[in-house]
Amino acid sequence: MTDSPIHEKLAVSVRRLIDATIRTEVSSEVVAAATSEIDSVTGQLGAALMPGSFGERAVANGANPVSGNVVVGARNPSAPPLAIQHESDGSVWTEFTLGAAYEGPPGFVHGGVIAMILDHVLGAPAHKPGRPAYTGTLTVRYHRATPLQRPLRAEARIQTVEGVKNFTVGTISDVDGTTVSAEGVFIHRR
């Protein structure tokens, strides 16, 4: 078993640990003890590890191919993870909130995290079953800072298709409107 609810629960717990690691104000003694305990847990989990990364293995054995993905992977503690919703018109959207682990300017989402999410979300409408699309070009326009700890929404749709190239557009918005917009070219390999 390389993917199951039990692994997702583990990732949820490690996400909480990441947040506490950044924000903790307990004594140095407690921090040092926590570090030792984590090393012990890592040793137990590390007694058997798949080589390299999750994706390589998942493709081989038919498990969920994106569980290790840094944006949508349910067992990757560094992933928010986003749940991408596909509409019947081909557009996609996702709603999420980002915490301390995604900080750039104090109190705001790192502009690079915004670019990362938009790369994934703009690519999503271009993916076809068994026929992934790879980013060719991504252009991101920052209108204003995107807040941490506030409900956010990302959405994207295909604007035009030319051969193997999908031209998509999308945005990230908070309750007050669009904070960042983007356009991208996503390419199916021949």
Q: Name which of residues 80 to 99 contact a second copy (CB under 8 A).
A: 99
Tell whether residue 161 is a contact of a second copy (CB under 8 A).
no
CA separation for the pair 107, 119 (Å, rounded)? 23
CA dist 4 to 28, 44, 67, 147, Å?
36, 18, 10, 33
Stretch that binds a second copy, among 1-9, 89-97, 150-158, 165-173 (CB under 8 A): 1-9
Stretch that binds a second copy, among 70-78, 88-96, 157-165, 166-174 (CB under 8 A): 70-78
Report the nearest approach of a second copy to the CB of residue 157 (Å). Answer: 18
Report the nearest approach of a second copy to the CB of residue 149 (Å). Answer: 7
Tell whether residue 102 is a contact of a second copy (CB under 8 A).
yes
Contact pick of 31, 61, 131, 150 for a second copy (by CB under 8 A):
31
Contact pick of 63, 64, 96, 103 for a second copy (by CB under 8 A):
103
Closest CA to 135 of 84, 75, 186: 186
Token reading at 104: 């750039």
CA separation for the pair 75, 64 (Å, rounded)? 10
Tell whether residue 137 is a contact of a second copy (CB under 8 A).
yes
Report the nearest approach of a second copy to the CB of residue 161 (Å). Answer: 19
Q: CB neighbours of 118 closer than 8 A, spacing ≥ 6?
A: 138, 140, 154, 156, 170, 172, 180, 182, 184
Residues that contact a second copy, how many (by CB under 8 A): 90
CA separation for the pair 140, 179 (Å, rounded)? 11
Sign for the CA dihedral angle at 87, 89, 92, 93 comes to: negative
Tell whether residue 26 is a contact of a second copy (CB under 8 A).
yes
Stretch that binds a second copy, among 83-91, 107-115, 152-160, 166-174 (CB under 8 A): 107-115
